[in-house]
Every structure is written in structure tokens, then in C-alpha cells.
Amino acid sequence: MHFSQMLAGATARHQSQLCVGLDPDPAKFPTPWQGDAARIHDFCARIVDATKDLVCAFKPQIAYFAAHRAEDQLERLMAYIRRVAPEVPVILDAKRGDIGPTAAQYAREAFERYQADAVTLSPFMGFDSIEPYLKYDGKGLILLCRTSNPGGSDLQAQALANGDLLYEHLAKEAAGHWNRDGRLGLVVGATFPRELARVRELAPTLPLLIPGVGAQGGDAAETVRAAWRPDAPIIVNSSRAVLYASSGEDFALRARAVADATRRELDAARG
């Protein structure tokens, strides 16, 4: 199924704009598993089980697996999500940004090895850095645009010769001729609500993946007011606030409580 169809279905079915980011850090695992990288899959699977009816997407961050030589656990986790929550799209957070044959291999990694429904990409090498991913029918490509970190301003907020800021130019390209078959989305941080509203103005129908709510301090209600439109999906990500809501044996139960509270707050903000 097309990524956008899966996203729309999960959003409606679960009344949710919440994406749970799967960023497993063994040092923060509950006490019995603390420091044990062999339990990465088990930890993430428990989070998935606890939240799968509350989310519009899951977003595993590949670095948290690769750093612990746990790519095989990521493969197992992706297969597990497809089995227990087949209606929920999975966004592989990889932020790849190369060209040519290398980009083709990264695309193969995301969509063949891990069977992701969408992937995050860095578009700063131009359209040919994302073109190889378009060969995979139905898959979503979510491009970095105005990221949630303060240092993003070093480049993304720089003015171009035509007066556009760089992130504005990226939003226009993604909403325009780059979006050849309607599969592009943008990453825009909740920590910059004014810029978030500007991106929504420039890209009125593109899905926006919005990190920064929760541990990074982004305001959930303000995020929805800036970016949500009836025909414009948003994917509001929360990772640490959900994953590490408790360090005890009740970690999955507490993760569900935080996820549900965030989901409700986001839904209420739609008015």
C-alpha cells in the first residue's frame, strides 16, 4: 500500500497524529535490562505492543541500532511491526544524502532489507540524491527542511540571492517539480513554530514529520495549530518522553500513558 494511504488510514483509525520514535539506548533501559544491547529488539517490541493502537506511525532511528551492531535486531523489529501492526506505517529515520549508485544502495537498504514504508533523506546534494528512492513505488521520501536543532539555522535559515531562506526554497522544491508522483514529505521541527507555519504555507498538502515535541521542548498544541490542515497530514514525533517514561518494570505501561496523553493533546488541538 502507498505510504500516504497507510498514514491516512492509521491517522483516522487511531485518531492520532502521534509518531513514536524508536531510539533504543541500552543505558536507559529498565533496570533488569539496563546496558544490555541484546535486548534492543525486546525493548522496542514492548513499546510497539503498548502503543500500536495510539499512533499514526513508528520511526526507528537506524543509528541507535547500528551503533550496537544490532542491525539484525532492527530487521526483526521491522518484521515484528509488520506482523502486529500491519496498518501502521514505519518510517526509517536514516537521513541519507548521497548520489548515484551509493544512493541506490541506501534505497535498497531502506526498502528491501528493512522493508520500510518511508525513509528520511537529506536533500542538500540536490534532486539526484533522492531520485534513486523514487524507483520504489509507493514509498514515502521525507526530506530534511527546517530541523528542530538550534544549529539548523547555520544553513537552513540563510538567505539566498532571490530572498528566500534555504528552508523555504527546499519546501518550494519539494512541493513543486521534485514531487513528481506525490510521495515527498518534509521534516520540520516543533521547536520553530513560526517556521513550521511558513513551511505549511509553502507546502500546503505535503506530509510534515515534526520532531521536537516532548524532551526537546516543542509545544504539542502550538505545533498542531501551525501545521495541521484537514487535507495536510502531520506526523508529530515523540521519542524519549515515551520510551523512557519509566525505568521500572512498568516501562511499557508508562510509555502507553505518555503516548496516549500526547495523542489526546494533539487531537484536541485540532479543535
Active-site residues: which are they? 95
Q: Which residue has the cell 537506524?
A: 62
Q: Buried (b) or exposed (e) across 179-189, using 16+ Cβ within 10 A?
A: beeebbbbbbb
Grid coordinates representing 19 are 509518531
Q: Which residue has the cell 528552508?
A: 167
Q: What is the 3-state secondary structure (H, E, C) of 115-153?
A: CCCEEEECCCCCHHHCHHHHHCCCCEEEEEEECCCHHHH
215 phi/psi in degrees, rounded to 5:
-65, -30
Residues 6+ apart with CB under 8 A from 2: 138, 183
The C-alpha atoms of residue 46 and residue 20 are separated, in whole angstroms, by: 13
- Measured from the Cβ of residue 265, the count of other Cβ atoms closer than 10 Å reads 18
Grid coordinates representing 55 are 499512533
Q: Buried (b) or exposed (e) across 27-57, using 16+ Cβ within 10 A?
A: eebbeebeeebebbbebbbbbbebbbbbbbb
218 phi/psi in degrees, rounded to 5:
-65, 145
